[in-house]
Structure 1
Amino acid sequence: MAALSALLVMPNIPGTDVHFLVPYAIEAPGPTFNTLGTVEGKEVVEIEGAPTDATNGKLNMTTVAVSSGITLTQAIAEGLWSSNTMVPIEQIFPQNVTPEEQREVNSADFAASEASATAAAMHYLDRPLAVEVAQVVPDGPAAEKLEQGDVIVAVDGQKISSPKQVKEAVSAHKPGQDLEVKVKRKGKETALKITLGTHPKDDAAFLGILMAQVPADGMKVTYNLKDIGGPSAGLIFSLAVVDKLDPADITGGAFVAGTGTIDEDGKVGPIGGIRHKIEASKNAGAEVFLAPKGNCADIDAKTSEGIEVAAVGSLEEAVDALSAHQRGEAMPTCG
């Protein structure tokens, strides 16, 4: 089952009696957010350091609203009269994980999806990328050597352009061996020698950093949505970046909504709560919904009634689908 994502976890429903709570949560259509618009006076997707083009239409990311603290009476009512979904509470809050810890995980997933969305857009637009240190593991081999924000220029004399290259360089060493890492910090390049540690899971060489691909030309992309978790905004975020940087009009003035994870190479992955996200999009007035191909089994004729649903497997396919829609041609569907 696809992981639940882009969740808005709601507080316990007022008036519930803790003595009659059931171990379920309610999933329902959540709000949608236009990534080409503004929130609290800021652009949802803000680009600095590069010229941007005017955009038309809407590109709405979608969410699933989740409520916990459900009584038996409410659960029965949901089953009889609501199109919302009852799911076991452990799907939202896994066992031995507190709600606060799960919110932290969802927030981390959302941040990771933002980084992947930027990288995927840069790949699509053929713009240069650099590898940045996103986090240094406390007490790890790189602690007190590398810093968050360092740009990794080279490893053992080999130029670096992707996190994969760094991982391959580390894996070619044994724990206890030295790795030379050249970084750019505050505009100055510095070569550092780091003694690799042992990975706690597989005894392989361990550097102790998390990395992200970022624009290499000084451009900065900031995503200004808050209080939302999970990785499923990736596709729509990436499309918004492309629409702002590419002279082509991605939406053609249409109201487009969608969902889907995205990796740095632009591959779109399935998510949870697809039916609720399509319903939310219809309620908001969207004409087109971009759905991951991996969710096709969850989308039936009734779900897609009243909105055109395009099935896509990559960022490029999503752009092509919207181009076809502008021309009045058929978009790829789950059928």
Structure 2
Amino acid sequence: MLAATLTLITLLVVSVLLKVPYTQLSPGPTYNTLGAQDKAGTPVISISGAQTYPTSGHLNMTTVQVTGADYQPSLVSVVVGWLANDQLVVPHDILYPKGQTEQQSEQQNAEEFASSQDSAKTAALTQLGIPVGNEVQISEVVAGGPADGKLHAGDRIVAVDGTQVTDPTQVGPLVQKHKPGENVVFTVVPHAQDEETLKPSDESQVTVTTSKAPDSDKAMVGIVAAPGHNYPFKIDIGLQDVGGPSAGLMFALGIVDKLTPTDLTGGKFVAGTGTIDDKGNVGPIGGISMKVIAAREAGARYFFTPSDNCAEASKNTPSGLRLIKVDTLAQALDDLGKVRAGQDAQLPACPR
């Protein structure tokens, strides 16, 4: 008995003290894209220079809370998380790849968030038939690369070494005119810049020292240039301390609601998630099981769910929350019409 008791005590102590390489996720806060993001009343989406209309109800984007890169849970904590309905435990390297610091992960999430905002604006205006202009933007900055911390996703590239660029394919050859170790000067408009009042003095000169590309002797700076957009009026998405691309659909719906006389929700509480591209196609996201919980706890009755997330979301759907399977922005707008009309039976549902 004494030996068994001592063994049990030892196992309990080890399970509490032993740290394991896992990350824990839990439901995060939700934000109404039609409302305010803080107690001061700062709107999540503000539009100026265009006619806007009153809105009601909710179109909430959802988030997931994630433990930090340096956090190491105990074995007991991980087991509790596996058993709990409101926690998700995944291997640490899935969210924080080896060699990536927490700061680099946060920067990547911020850049994905900035890119999703641009796509949400483009998809929403395109859906409404409002012309969208083209430009050259940075879509990605490679973590640990020469441009990391100097250039950012969403920055507009005006020129490289004084040569104006109008197409993303111009950027690479201009950089590769240099040898690795030489400086290249980018003229950029930072992503946060107010384009309506842009003056030449608002452009920034950013010098980046090139390095050798991993698969050749050519110079590189570690950015991906892509087609970007400019808009006929200002749309500002001012949400802070949120990262990743998963709010794209809900941002697009919020923009459309503010720009059209139709009250899209009819006063009802709708939440959702999903990436979005410039054409309005909705893609899958991570942490869906935590997001449906967050939505229901906030009061949502309907939840837009990307088709590829339906199977996972259906396993843990809280009581009183109807999942709406969605593939495109156009379909989501049509489904909101059914929500307004109370035609719940006609909504495309995730199979259980």
Which TM-score band applies after superposition, normalised by the shorter structure?
A: 0.7 to 0.9
Q: Does 1:20 align with 2:34?
A: no
Alpha-carbon distance in 1 for matches of 2:258, 2:326: 21
SS at match of 1:29: strand
Aligned to 2:309: 295
Give the letter for the 1:34 counterpart.
N
**Shift of the alpha carbon at 1:50?**
1.1
Aligned to 1:234: 248
Residue 247 of structure 1 and its aligned partner are, at CA, apart by 1.4
Rounded to whole Å, the distance in 2 between the matches of 1:131 and 1:201 is 31
Q: Summarize the alignment of residues 185-224 of structure 1 with structure 2, pairs less than 5 Å apart.
A: 186=199, 200=213, 210-211=225-226, 213-217=228-232, 219-224=233-238
Instruction: Tell me the CA shift for residue 301 of structure 1.
Output: 5.9
Task: Give the alignment partner of residue 347 of structure 2, picking from 323, 331, 334.
Answer: 331
Partner of 1:103: 106
Distance (Å, rounded) in 1 between the aligned partners of 2:19 and 2:55: 47
Q: Give the letter for the 1:29 counterpart.
A: P
**Larger proportion of strand:** 1
Does residue 285 of the first structure (1) align with residue 283 of the second (2)? no
Letter in 2 for 1:247: P
CA distance in 2: counterparts of 1:151 and 1:244, whole angstroms: 31
Identity percentage over the alignment?
38
- DSSP 3-state at the match of 1:210: strand
Letter in 2 for 1:108: E
Q: Paired residues, what number? A: 292
Report the alpha carbon displacement of residue 257 of structure 1 after superposing the two structures with TM.
0.3
Distance 1:324 1:201 in 2: 53
Task: Say which one has the larger Rg.
Answer: 2
CA contact (8 A) 2:45 2:235 kept: yes
The Cα of 1:167 is off from its aligned counterpart by 4.6
Alignment of 1:133-212 (within 5 A): 133-135=136-138, 149=156, 166-167=167-168, 186=199, 200=213, 210-211=225-226
Q: What letter matches 2:88 in structure 1? A: T
Q: Does the Cα contact within 8 Å between 2:168 and 2:226 map onto a contact in 1?
A: no
1:275 counterpart SS class = helix
In structure 2, stretches of 5+ residues that fail to align are 1-14, 148-154, 160-165, 178-194, 201-209
1:30 counterpart = 2:33: no
Q: Deviations over 1:142-199 (max 9, x none)?
A: xxxxxx55679xxxxxxx8xxxxx35788999x87xxxxxxx9848xxxxxxxxx9x9
Give the structure 1 partner of residue 76 of structure 2: 73
User: Hey, what's the Cα distance between the residues in 1 that align with 2:85 and 2:323?
Assistant: 23
1:121 is matched with which residue? Answer: 124
Structure 1 residues 216 and 72, CA gap change in structure 2 (3 angstroms): closer
Counterpart in 2 of 1:313?
Answer: 327
Tell me the distance in 1 between the aligned counterparts of 2:158 and 2:342. 44
User: How far apart are residue 98 of structure 1 and its match?
Assistant: 1.1
For the structure 1 residues 82 and 281, does the alpha-carbon distance in structure 2 shift closer, same or farther, using more than 3 Å as the test?
A: closer
Shift of 1:222: 1.2
SS at match of 1:108: helix
Report the aligned-residue RMSD: 3.8
1:45 and 2:60 matched: no
Amino acid at match of 1:114: Q
Q: Are the counterparts in 2 of residues 119 and 213 from structure 1 also a CA contact under 8 Å? A: no
In the alignment, what sits opposite 1:84? Answer: 87
Structure 1 gap segments, 5+ residues each: 1-16, 141-147, 153-159, 161-165, 177-183, 188-196
Identify the residue that residue 59 of structure 1 maps to in structure 2. Answer: 59
Deviation at 1:317, TM superposition (A): 0.8
CA drift of 1:79 comes to 3.0
3-state DSSP of counterpart to 2:317: helix
1:66, distance to aligned residue in structure 2 (A): 1.3
- Deviations 1:35-87 (CA, angstroms, capped at 9, x unpaired): 11112331101112112111110111001111243112222332345541111
Q: Does 1:268 align with 2:260?
A: no
1:202-223 residue CA offsets vs partner (Å, 9 max, x unmatched): 889x997735643442x11111
| C-alpha deviation, 1:323, in angstroms | 0.7
TM-score, normalised relative to structure 2: 0.71
Tell me if 1:225 matches 2:239.
Answer: yes
